[in-house]
């Protein structure tokens, strides 16, 4: 099995840092929809994993209840 690696820079933005997600990792996503990227750390394996989930649009009731 081939090992694939991606290197990305961290960019300072205000009091936090940002990075980009390489397009090859997004091949299975519907690019017309918005997604959240979940960074999951496995302490036993000492590895980070990326998961993607569709962004849930709040219903009109949820928007009103927040106000």
pLDDT at 57 over 80: no
Q: Render pLDDT for 4-39 as a digit per residue (tens, 0 to 9).
A: 788 889 999 999 999 888 888 888 899 888 889 999
Q: Where are the domains of the chain?
A: 11-66
pLDDT at 67 over 70: no
Quote the pLDDT of residue 45: 92
**DSSP code string of 4-66:** -------EEETTEEE----GGGGTTS-TTS-EEEEEEEETTTTEEEEEEEEPPPPPHHHHHHH
pLDDT at 59 over 90: no
Quote the pLDDT of residue 12: 94
């Amino acid at each position: 099995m081939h090992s694939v690696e991606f290197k990305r820079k961290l960019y300072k933005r205000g009091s936090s840092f940002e990075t980009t997600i390489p397009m090859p990792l997004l091949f299975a996503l519907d690019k017309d929809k918005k997604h959240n990227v979940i960074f999951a750390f496995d302490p036993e394996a000492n590895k980070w994993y990326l998961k993607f989930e569709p962004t849930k649009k709040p219903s009109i009731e949820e928007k009103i209840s927040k106000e």
